[in-house]
Structures are given as C-alpha cells and as structure tokens.
Amino acid sequence: MLSHFNFRVILQYLPLFLKGLWATSWISAISIFFALLLGVLACSMRLSSTGFLKKTAGVYIESMRATPLLAQLYFFYFGLPTLHINLNEIQTGILALSLNSGAYIAEIVRAGIVSIPDGQTEAGTAYGLTYLQRMRYIILPQALGVTIPALLGQFIVLVKDSSLVSLISVLELTRAGQLMASERFMPTEGFFTVAAFYLVIYFVLKYLSTLWQNRLIYREP
Amino acid sequence: MYAFYFKSLIHSLPLFFKGLWITILVSGISLVAGTVLGIICGIFRTVKRWGLSRIMGAYADYMRGVPFLVHIFIIYFILPEVGIQLEPFPAAAIALTIYAGAYISEIVAAGILSVPRGQREAATAYGLNAFQQMRHIVFPQAFKVILPPLVGEYVLLIKDSSIVSVIGLTDVTRVGWLTVQRIPEGIMVFGLVGILYFVICYPLIHLSHILEKKVSYDAQ
C-alpha cells in the first residue's frame, strides 16, 4: 500500500486540499463563535429562576445532546426548504454545527459557573450589583478561565464534526479527499492526506490547550 | 398534503424500526468490543515500560484528531487496497470499535491514575503480583470513577453510529435519508429519526448524570 504511495498526485491536488483546509477552518471558526454565544445564552437561561426560560433551554440542550449531528444536519437540510426558508449548504452546515455545539458549550459553561463558590455571588449581591453585572464582572470571567481547556476540547470536536457537512456537498477538507479518491481512484492517498491535515489542526489546538493549562497552574500559587 | 405524507410515513414505520434495530445491533456489538479494547489499552496506557504508554497515547491522539467520517472511509475504502474487503456491517462495527476503544482507553487510564499510589504499594507489600493488584485492588476502585464518563461515551458511540450510514449500512439515519427522497417532508422524517435516537440516548445521558452524582456523593 505505502510502497506505491503517489506523492505526485497529492502535490497536484494540494491546491484543492488547501482550499478545503481553509473552508474547514473558517466554517469551524464561525460555528464556534455562534456556538459560544448560544451556549452562554442557553446556560444563563438554564440557571435562571424563570421556569419557562429554564425549560426551553433544557429542551434545547437535551434534544441536541441526545440526537446525532448527522440527523440534525439532515433535519435542517431537508426540513428548512419545506418551511420556505432557503439557506445554502454552507449556511445550513454552520446552523447545524452552531446549534449542536452550543448545547455542549452550555453544559461546559454551566459546570464552570457551578464551580465558582457561592460566596462570590453573595459578595456581588452585597456590593449591590444586579444579576447581569454579577455575571459580567464576577462570575463569567472566572468561569470562562476555568473552562478554556474544555472549550478548546469542544472546538476540536467541532472541527471534526464539520467533516459531516461534506455529506451535503460543501467543499471542505473531507470533500477534497473524497473528490481525489473518486477522480483518481486513489482512496489511500486521498484519505490519508485528509487525516494528516486534521491531525495538524488537532495538534495545534491541543498545544494551545496545554499552554493555557500550564498558565493556569503557574498562576495559582 | 400533510395528512397524506403523514400517512405514508406511518406506513413506512416498520422500515424505521428495522433501521433502529441495525443501529442498536452495530452500536451494541462495538460497545462491548470497544469496552474490552478500551480497558486493555487503558491499562497499557498506565504501564511505563516498553513504550506502551507512548503507543497507546499515539493511538488515542490519532482517533481524537481524525473525524469518524474520515476514519470509516479509511476502513472501508483503503483496506480493500491491501486485500481486506469488508461488508458494510463488519466495516462499521470495526470502525466504531476502534474509535470508541481509543476514547474509552483515555477514560480507563484516568480512572486507574486516580487510585492513590499507596494502594498499589500496600498490595505489593501483601505480595500480590501486577495482575492481582489490578484485578483486586486498583480496578474495583477505579471502576467507580470510570463508570459515569463511560456511559457518556456510549451515548457518543450510538450517535456516531449514525455516520456509518454513508457506507451504505441501512441504519435509522439512512432509512430517514431514503424516506425523505419519497416523502419530501424533512422536518417530519428527520423529526422521527431524532425521536428514535432520543428514546435510546436520553435515558443513558440521565443514567450518566445519576452515576456522576452518586460518585461525587460517595467521595465526600
């Protein structure tokens, strides 16, 4: 298999792979941005004392976590046109990825917020801060610091999950490999190159996560 | 029109249940095999000899870095190049097993490392060999820590099994995909698919939460 590994064809397809890498990167970046917003929103809804908000966030989070992303992706891809909402494939992909990741981020942020001692909230209340001010100035800065490694972990998952949008024919990294495999009948070269590119992204993110963790440990004493 | 589509969806319910059975079967088999593989690799991960820890770390890193979709393409399209032709079902089961095994090995390794060193030292002092230590002292204690994330991992496994539909295995996601070509009501069809997954996964997520609470309660 490896004895006749054809590097020349990989070089020939390199522009396509780089295009795919770029698409994977920006689709993941936009999705993680929206997912963060959604996650923080859903989390604060879930922790609020209003029953309705709490339930809505609960239903959102649980339904996203208990169903596969692929089913969600198809749900939006085949379902939105019947509601006369026309999004293109990339927009549908970003929508599904953000909604899916948002639910996981809500749980991560919640774990971070719960880990902040009650005394912090009480002190904030004693200073006369409102709920939003407490969140903005006291709880969230601390909670997000603790959760950065978990959030980077979720980002890694999101980058991997973004490979699924190739199934609704968005040209990204996995799709580039599929194209090469089918055009040249070279699945070995195609898919191993794709795997190598994903591993590069993975190790960069893992390195960032380690850096941050070391910083947290360093700052503690 | 809705009524008509709804009726024909009801008529194709048996297909969905057949798909659900395939989903349960493929994830059930890989769940058992993946747990066995994960426990073995997780124990190896904590062994500091013969580079075992490094090899297992590389295995886990590879699986955590490469999407499952690419992984299943590698198993299904590249193995034939070296003369191993697999049907979709075994290919899916093998891919899921190897994938879940990596994640489970990380969970098991973390659980084993959470057992205090003194326990092992005491066992050595009692004259237990490495296997007996693992079997009677370390693993039973690690198991409590391992169980909640392990159940969580099973949920991920069942959800990841939806991706095997791309190599033509007729699981519940693929049944949905086939049905939506006939009944063009994506919300209805994939709503049903979602409900079927939810029915399996939600109790497991709940179980994982309960176990987690129990473990943190015991620790106090």
Asked if B186 reaches chain A (Cβ–Cβ under 8 Å), the answer is yes
CB B63 within 8 A of CB B130: no
Q: How far apart are CA B134 and CA B118, in angstroms?
A: 14
Asked if B82 reaches chain A (Cβ–Cβ under 8 Å), the answer is yes
Q: Cβ–Cβ of B77/A164 closer than 8 Å?
A: no
Q: Which of A9, A163, A153 is nearest to A93 (CA)?
A: A163
Which of left, alpha, beta for B80 (phi over 0: left; psi -120 to 50: alpha)?
Answer: alpha
- Contacts B163 to A, Cβ<8 Å: 68, 70, 164
Task: Find the CB nearest B186 among A77, A163, A188.
Answer: A77
A7-219: CATH topology is MetI-like fold (1.10.3720)
Asked if A204 reaches chain B (Cβ–Cβ under 8 Å), the answer is no
Cβ burial, residue A3 (10 Å; 0-12/13-18/19+): exposed
Asked if B23 reaches chain A (Cβ–Cβ under 8 Å), the answer is no
- Asked whether the predicted pLDDT for residue B14 surpasses 90, the reply is no
CB A66 within 8 A of CB B205: yes
In three-state secondary structure terms, B170 is coil
pLDDT number for residue A209? 83
Phi, psi of B62 (to 5 degrees): -60, -45
Between the ranges A168-182, A201-215, B24-38, B83-97, where is the mean pLDDT highest?
B24-38
Residue-range domains of chain B with CATH: 18-219 (1.10.3720.10)
Q: Is the dihedral of CA A130, A136, A140, A145 positive or negative?
A: negative
Q: How confident is the model at residue B148 (pLDDT cuts 50, 70, 90)?
A: confident
Give the pLDDT mean for B15-19: 86
What percent of chain B has pLDDT above 90? Answer: 16
| pLDDT, tens digit (0-9, with 9 covering 90-100), for B164-213 | 888 888 888 888 888 888 888 888 888 888 999 999 888 888 888 888 88
For chain B, give the number of residues: 220
Q: How far apart are CA B9 and CA A190, in angstroms?
A: 39
Lowest mean pLDDT among A32-36, A141-145, A169-173: A141-145
Q: Cβ–Cβ of A74/B193 closer than 8 Å?
A: yes
Structure tokens at A181: 């495999």
Q: Which of B146, B171, B145 is nearest to B158 (CA)?
A: B171
pLDDT number for residue A2? 55
What percent of chain B has pLDDT above 70? Answer: 98
Angle at Cα B75 formed by Cα B69 and Cα B76, nearest 5°? 85
DSSP symbol at A134: I
Q: How far is CA B138 from CA B43, B47, B85, B128, in A?
A: 11, 13, 41, 12
Q: Cβ–Cβ of A181/B198 closer than 8 Å?
A: no
If one counts every other C-beta atom within 10 angstroms of the C-beta of residue B106, the result is 22
For chain A, give the number of residues: 221
Q: Is the dihedral of CA B9, B10, B15, B19 positive or negative?
A: positive
Q: Cβ–Cβ of A199/B165 closer than 8 Å?
A: no
Q: How far is CA A49 from CA A52, A53, A54, in A?
A: 9, 8, 7
Q: Cβ–Cβ of B82/A167 closer than 8 Å?
A: no
- Asked whether the predicted pLDDT for residue A220 surpasses 60, the reply is no
DSSP symbol at A67: S
Q: How far is CA A185 from CA A131, A168, A169, B73, B91, in A?
A: 60, 22, 19, 13, 20
- Contacts A81 to B, Cβ<8 Å: 186
- Contacts A174 to B, Cβ<8 Å: 67, 69-70, 73
Cβ burial, residue A187 (10 Å; 0-12/13-18/19+): buried
Give the pLDDT mean for B115-132: 81
pLDDT number for residue A97? 93
Q: Cβ–Cβ of B186/A62 closer than 8 Å?
A: no
Q: Cβ–Cβ of A75/B190 closer than 8 Å?
A: yes
Q: How far apart are CA B19 and CA B162, in angstroms?
A: 10
| pLDDT, tens digit (0-9, with 9 covering 90-100), for A32-87 | 999 999 998 898 888 877 888 888 888 899 899 889 999 999 999 988 888 888 88
Q: How far apart are CA A59 and CA A55, in angstroms?
A: 6
Q: How confident is the model at residue B217 (pLDDT cuts 50, 70, 90)?
A: low
Q: Shortest Cα distance from B50 to chain A (angstroms)?
A: 24
Angle at Cα A124 formed by Cα A118 and Cα A130, nearest 5°? 115
Q: How confident is the model at residue A221 (pLDDT cuts 50, 70, 90)?
A: very low
Cβ burial, residue B74 (10 Å; 0-12/13-18/19+): buried
Structure tokens at A163: 């490979």
Q: Cβ–Cβ of A187/B189 closer than 8 Å?
A: no
Asked if A199 reaches chain B (Cβ–Cβ under 8 Å), the answer is yes
Q: Cβ–Cβ of A194/B61 closer than 8 Å?
A: no
Residues 92-151 of A with CB under 8 A from B: none
